[in-house]
Amino acid sequence: MDKHYSIILSALLMAISSSFAQTKALYAGGALYNDSSNIAEIKKSGFNTIIIWTLHLRENGDINFNFDFDLIEDGKYVGARKHPNFVQDVARLKQGLSSVDRIEFGIGSWEGQQFEVIKQYYEKDGGFPDTSPIYKNFKKLRETFPMVDAINNDDELTYDLPSTVAFMKMLAKLGFKNTVVPYKNSSYWKELVKEVNQTYPNNIDRNYLQCYAGGSKNSPCDERWDLGIPLVGGLWGGTGQMSPSEINSTIGDWKLKCNLGGGFIWLYDNMTGDVKQYSEALDRMH
């Protein structure tokens, strides 16, 4: 590629990305780290935020990825045992010509017990002191993945306010932003955002509202989901789920009714090869 053309194209991509005041986020699971060739498609997709799904906590506080491979054990990074290039691949998402300017690691899910483990350690140690396995392992995560901007908190089981507030404050102290991914219990999430952001202003900066599966009746235009931070409405796309045109229609309807902070789509693994269509489906936000 001609050097001058490359510079112009890079500047154009940066201008396009910066013009998106709204979030265009994509969840990506095993398809990202099991086949690193997919990273090239994601970088050209038009999505500006990638949420890599998802961290799990073992009972001893060690961090596992997606019930697939161990990531941090006793304060040491071990992810290279199964995926030697994982750190470099995560960094590649933002490098060079890319629409991606933000990366988040998910934590939690319907099946996982992450926030139960967090609660147990909080109650055992009275918080998360430097000696806590939770603190040591997330400190190593921060050091190993400086390109990751935020932890995407998806508690769907525990809903324990004191321990989760303390956990997110610990993450903020380590240098992570926090985001939340509710599908029910709006009052819980509202208080959580309030308490964390009182200590670390604007640390929790996005509300990714699930409007599919268990949250299929949710709407970002429902005032109970106004947590005082930008609200990003989420839909499930890909094989057997919503098509790009259906997503485009739903996003457009939301935008007509309320001030939408963006949109996210679950899950890249179901739409490899077609991801740009889903990114373009969110363009009715603008």
3-state secondary structure 156-186: CCCCCHHHHHHHHHHHHHHCCEEEECCCCCH
Instruction: Please state, in angstroms and rounded to a whole number, the distance separating the CA atoms of residues 47 and 50.
Output: 7
My answer on whether omega of the bond before 267 falls inside 30° of 0, hence cis, is yes
Instruction: Please state, in angstroms and rounded to a whole number, the distance separating the CA atoms of residues 16 and 237.
Output: 24
Domain boundaries, the chain: 21-285
Instruction: Please state, in angstroms and rounded to a whole number, the distance separating the CA atoms of residues 145 and 135.
Output: 15
The alpha carbons of the chain give a radius of gyration, in whole angstroms, of 18
Nearest to 224 by CA among 256, 257, 185, 193: 185
> How many other C-beta atoms can be found within 10 angstroms of the C-beta atom of residue 214?
11
Question: Residue written as tokens 């949109």?
Answer: 263
Give residue-wise pLDDT tens across range 228-258: 999 999 999 999 999 999 999 999 999 999 9
Residue 199 has a pLDDT of 98
**86, 79 contact by CB (below 8 A):** yes
Instruction: Please state, in angstroms and rounded to a whole number, the distance separating the CA atoms of residues 192 and 180.
Output: 9
Architecture per CATH, 21-285: Alpha-Beta Barrel (3.20)
Is residue 185 scored above 90 in pLDDT? yes
Residue 109 has a pLDDT of 87
Nearest to 168 by CA among 124, 143, 205: 205
Is residue 2 scored above 60 in pLDDT? no
**175, 198 contact by CB (below 8 A):** no
> Quick one: average pLDDT of 142-161?
97
Is residue 17 scored above 60 in pLDDT? no
> Quick one: average pLDDT of 43-60?
97
pTM score, two decimals?
0.92
| Helical pair 161-174 and 133-144, crossing angle rounded to 10 deg | 40
> Quick one: average pLDDT of 90-103?
98
DSSP E strands: which ranges in 172-253? 177-180, 204-210, 231-236
CA angle 147, 153, 157 (to 5 degrees): 155
Q: Which amino acid is at 209?
A: L
